[in-house]
Chains A and B, each alone.
Chain A
């Protein structure tokens, strides 16, 4: 099973700042099958990025994903008030189980 470790656990930033979230895998993620999700309180997760760097439908271009192998990054170029939430990475597509990281909470400073 591939273990995903996200860092930091909590990130405190102000609107307008740049956010960089990390996701490290315990072994190489095949074909960059890595996704990022955003979850707000009381809501289901929302897909932001798949294939490590492809934005899902309707996702603003301030969200970008990068990385390969075992190290992946989600970058939010300029934080909007609605971006403060919990973010999860997920690896998928190989033999099960798919796994999620433990999450990074992005909070307003």
Chain B
């Protein structure tokens, strides 16, 4: 079964760093783009960026460029989303999602990781 399993929920303080993970199973991580999507409480979906783990080609939405870093470790079939200095406005659910084929719609989604940033 193809699935993405994300790390659990986090409660962090402003200014702290964080790296959340998305582990792929049932398919080859290096063969499909993986994207990250933010959903703030009670709001819609926002496309953050995408990575092709095969060659680490990474693209960001201008809204998130410089605010987060997307990476992947092929050896353990895991993609990551990280922040160097969290803000309260980063409080949201974050989803990873696998591209259907090529750069495409997302056919498989992780269960989401809730990040709460509060002093």
Task: Encode contact with B along A65-105: 1 for CB under 8 Å, 0 otherwise.
Answer: 00000000000000000000000101011001111111100
A56, CB-defined interface residue at 8 Å: yes
Which of B8-16, B23-31, B79-87, B105-113 lies on the face that meets chain A?
A: B105-113
A19, CB-defined interface residue at 8 Å: no
The reply to whether A44 and B95 form a contact with Cβ atoms under 8 Å apart is yes
Within 8 Å by CB of A97, from B61, B102, B104, B107, lies: B61
The reply to whether A96 and B109 form a contact with Cβ atoms under 8 Å apart is no
Task: Encode contact with B along A18-42: 1 for CB under 8 Å, 0 otherwise.
Answer: 0000000000000001010101000
Q: Given A37-B45, A44-B110, A100-B46, 6 more contacts at CB 8 Å?
A: A45-B106, A56-B107, A92-B104, A96-B59, A96-B61, A98-B50
- How distant is A35 from chain B, measured CB to nearest CB, in Å? 4
> Please, could you name 13 A-B residue pairs with CB atoms under 8 Å apart, sorted by A?
A33-B105, A44-B111, A45-B45, A88-B45, A90-B106, A92-B103, A92-B104, A96-B47, A96-B50, A97-B61, A97-B62, A97-B63, A103-B45
The reply to whether A102 and B44 form a contact with Cβ atoms under 8 Å apart is yes
By beta carbon, the residue of chain A nearest B35 is: A98
Q: Which of B55-105 contact A (CB under 8 A)?
A: 59-63, 95, 97, 100, 102-105
Bound state CA distance, A72 and B50, in angstroms?
24
Bound state CA distance, A98 and B64, in angstroms?
12
Within 8 Å by CB of B100, from A37, A45, A50, A100, lies: A50
The number of residues on chain A lying at the interface, defined by a beta carbon within 8 Å of a beta carbon of chain B, is 25
Chain A residues close to B by CB (< 8 Å) = 1, 33, 35, 37, 39, 44-47, 50-51, 56-57, 88, 90, 92-93, 96-103
- How distant is B107 from chain A, measured CB to nearest CB, in Å? 5
B49, CB-defined interface residue at 8 Å: yes
